[in-house]
Amino acid sequence: MKKRSMRLFALLLAAMMTCTACQAPAADTTTAAPGNQETKAPATETTGAAEATEPAPSWTNDDDAEITIMMVQSAVPGADDLVIAELEKRTGTKINMISVAGADYAVKLSSMIGAGNIPDIFEVRDLSDAQKYIDAGILANVEDLLTEVAPNVMEETKDVLYEIPVNDGGVYMVPVMSRSYAMNLNVRTDWLENLGMKMPTNLDEYKEMLRAFTEDDPDKNGEDDTYGLEFILDHVGQYAWVSVFGAYGIPAGKNGSAVTIELEDGTISTWVKHPRFIEAMTYIRSIVDAGYCEPDFVSVPAATSYEALWTGVAGVMEFQCVGPTNNWYPGRYTEDPLPTFDFPIIEGPYGDSGVAAKYVDYSNGFVFSSTCKNLEGAARIANYCMSQEGSELMTYGIEGVMWQWVDEANGKMEYLGEYTDSAVHRAAGGYCHRRLFVPSFHAELRTLNAQTQAGVQEAYDNAIEWAYIPYVSEVYTENGADMDQAIDEMMAELFTTTGDLQEVYDRWIEEWETLGGTEWEAELTEMWKEMNK
Q: Point out which residues bind another protein (CB under 8 A).
A: 1, 4-5, 24, 27-28, 30-32, 106-107, 110, 113-114, 129, 132-133, 136, 138, 233-234, 295-296, 298-301, 304, 477-478, 480-482, 485, 488-489, 491-493, 495-496, 515
DSSP 8-state symbol, 403: E
Element at 304 (helix H, strand E): helix 302-310
Contact 44, 65 (CB under 8 A): no
Give the C-alpha separation, 152 to 428, whole Å: 26
Give the C-alpha separation, 455 to 298, whole Å: 29
Give the C-alpha separation, 354 to 344, whole Å: 10
Give the C-alpha separation, 427 to 405, whole Å: 21
CB of 238 to another protein, least distance (A): 13
CB closer to another protein out of 306 and 495: 495
| Nearest by Cα to 480 from 257, 261, 269 | 257
CB closer to another protein out of 106 and 416: 106
CB of 492 to another protein, least distance (A): 4
CB closer to another protein out of 229 and 379: 229
**What does the buried/exposed string (b/e) look like for 426-465 if buried means 16 or more CB atoms within 10 Å of the residue's CB?**
bbbbbbbbbbbbbbbebbbbbbbeebbbebbebbeebbbe
Give the C-alpha separation, 167 to 144, whole Å: 13
CB closer to another protein out of 213 and 419: 213
CB closer to another protein out of 32 and 338: 32
Strand partners, 463: 355
State residue 362 phi and psi, 5-degree precision: -70, -15
CB of 493 to another protein, least distance (A): 8
CB of 518 to another protein, least distance (A): 16
Task: Tell how far CA 439 is from the center of its chain.
Answer: 15
CB of 474 to another protein, least distance (A): 13
Q: Are strands 355-356 and 463-464 parallel, antiparallel or unpaired?
A: parallel
Give the C-alpha separation, 279 to 345, whole Å: 19
**How many other C-beta atoms are found inside a 10 Å radius of the C-beta of residue 30?**
7
CB of 228 to another protein, least distance (A): 14
**How many other C-beta atoms are found inside a 10 Å radius of the C-beta of residue 418?**
12
Give the C-alpha separation, 269 to 348, whole Å: 22
Give the C-alpha separation, 191 to 69, whole Å: 46
CB of 144 to another protein, least distance (A): 25
CB closer to another protein out of 130 and 174: 130
State residue 424 phi and psi, 5-degree precision: -65, -40
CB of 102 to another protein, least distance (A): 12
CB closer to another protein out of 202 and 485: 485
CB closer to another protein out of 141 and 178: 141
CB of 30 to another protein, least distance (A): 8
| Nearest by Cα to 178 from 314, 39, 365 | 365
CB closer to another protein out of 104 and 155: 104
Contact 124, 71 (CB under 8 A): no
CB closer to another protein out of 26 and 409: 26
Sign of CA dihedral 307, 310, 316, 321: positive
CB closer to another protein out of 36 and 420: 36
What lies within 8 Å, CB to CB, of 20 at 6+ separation is: none
**What does the buried/exposed string (b/e) look like for 282-293 if buried means 16 or more CB atoms within 10 Å of the residue's CB?**
ebbeebbeeebb
CB of 307 to another protein, least distance (A): 11
CB of 465 to another protein, least distance (A): 28
CB closer to another protein out of 45 and 478: 478
CB of 496 to another protein, least distance (A): 6
What lies within 8 Å, CB to CB, of 27 at 6+ separation is: none
Report, in angstroms and rounded to the nearest whole number, the Rg of the chain calculated over CA atoms.
27
CB closer to another protein out of 302 and 406: 302
CB closer to another protein out of 43 and 492: 492
CB of 304 to another protein, least distance (A): 7
CB of 163 to another protein, least distance (A): 24
